[in-house]
Amino acid sequence: MRQNLAPFPATRLRRTRRSASIRALCQENTLSVNDLIWPMFVVEGSGVRQPVASMPGVERLSIDLLVDAAREAADLGIPAICIFPYTDPALKTDCCREAWSADNLSNRAIAAVKNAVPEVAVMTDIALDPYNAQGHDGIVKDGVILNDETVDALVKMALAQANAGADILGPSDMMDGRIGAMRAALESEGHKDVAILSYSAKYASAFYGPFRDAVGASGALKGDKKTYQMNPANSDEAMRLVERDLTEGADMVMVKPGLPYLDICRRVKTEFGVPTYAYQVSGEYAMIMAATDNGWIDGDAVMLESLMAFRRAGCDGVLTYFAPRVARALNG
Residues classed as catalytic: 202, 256
Preceding omega of 210 cis (within 30 degrees of 0): no
Rounded distance between C-alpha atoms, residue 212 and residue 99, angstroms? 17
Residue pair 84/199 in contact by the 8 Å Cβ criterion: no
- Cα angle for residues 282, 106, 135 (degrees, 5° grid): 55
Rounded distance between C-alpha atoms, residue 256 and residue 90, angstroms? 30
Residues with Cβ < 8 Å from 61, sequence gap 6 or more? 40, 41, 42, 43, 48, 49, 50, 68, 69
Residue pair 130/84 in contact by the 8 Å Cβ criterion: yes
- Cα angle for residues 230, 235, 238 (degrees, 5° grid): 55
Rounded distance between C-alpha atoms, residue 330 and residue 332, angstroms? 5
